[in-house]
């Protein structure tokens, strides 16, 4: 079975993420505070969790330094909410405050993406954020919503993906998205 690293940035949704990932793969959750990139060869893919942190209000330099490996890793990486934003910032996206979005939200995808196989063109996912990012260098926009321009993005040549919403608490479509990511691993 594939082994997935869940990098925990302190989200209260990590137990739900572990439950969904555990349906499809073995996993290990590691807190960001004790993470070191020497463990990466033990895994087939990495999920960057959400976090109760505002990037517009915190010094993010330690995140950027600790995650510099993402730019060169051959491993598939999925960033969720805060993880999506960090992934974008690594590739020069800009983060900005926005109106809070903390409910189910209708999202539309308009670019083929392996994360969204077997998910309808218009789907609902649970949001829980008040920041968003621009489209980073080397990424393409895959899906957006009325609430947020960058709901799903993918790197143009690497297996790097970001989703602004929380698939781990979004029911069937969220589980399909996570299963699709694990298949890529």
Q: Which residues are catalytic?
A: 81, 166, 168
First and final CA of the chain: distance in angstroms? Answer: 11
Per the CB < 8 A criterion, the answer to whether 162 and 78 are in contact is: yes
Measured CA to CA, the distance from residue 147 to residue 104 in angstroms comes to: 11
For the CA atoms of the chain, what is the radius of gyration? Answer: 15
Tally of residues, the chain: 185
Cα gap 66→147, rounded to integer Å: 30
> What 8-state DSSP symbol labels residue 38?
G
């Amino acid at each position: 079975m594939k082994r997935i690293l869940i990098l925990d940035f302190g989200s209260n949704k990590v137990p739900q993420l572990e439950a969904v990932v555990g349906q499809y793969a073995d996993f290990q959750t590691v807190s960001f505070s004790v993470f070191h990139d020497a463990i990466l060869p033990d895994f087939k893919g990495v999920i960057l969790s959400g976090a109760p942190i505002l990037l517009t209000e915190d010094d993010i330099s330690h995140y950027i330094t600790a995650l510099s490996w993402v730019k060169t890793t051959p491993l598939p990486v999925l960033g969720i909410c805060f993880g999506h934003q960090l992934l974008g910032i690594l590739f020069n996206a800009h983060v900005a405050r926005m109106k809070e979005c903390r409910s189910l939200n209708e999202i539309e995808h308009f670019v083929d993406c392996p994360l969204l196989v077997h998910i309808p063109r218009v789907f609902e996912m649970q949001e829980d954020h008040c920041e968003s990012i621009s489209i980073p260098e080397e990424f393409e926009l895959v899906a957006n919503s009325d609430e947020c321009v960058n709901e799903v993005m993918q790197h143009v040549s690497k297996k790097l993906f970001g989703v602004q919403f929380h698939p781990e608490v979004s029911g069937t479509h969220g589980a399909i998205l996570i299963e699709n990511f694990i298949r890529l691993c």
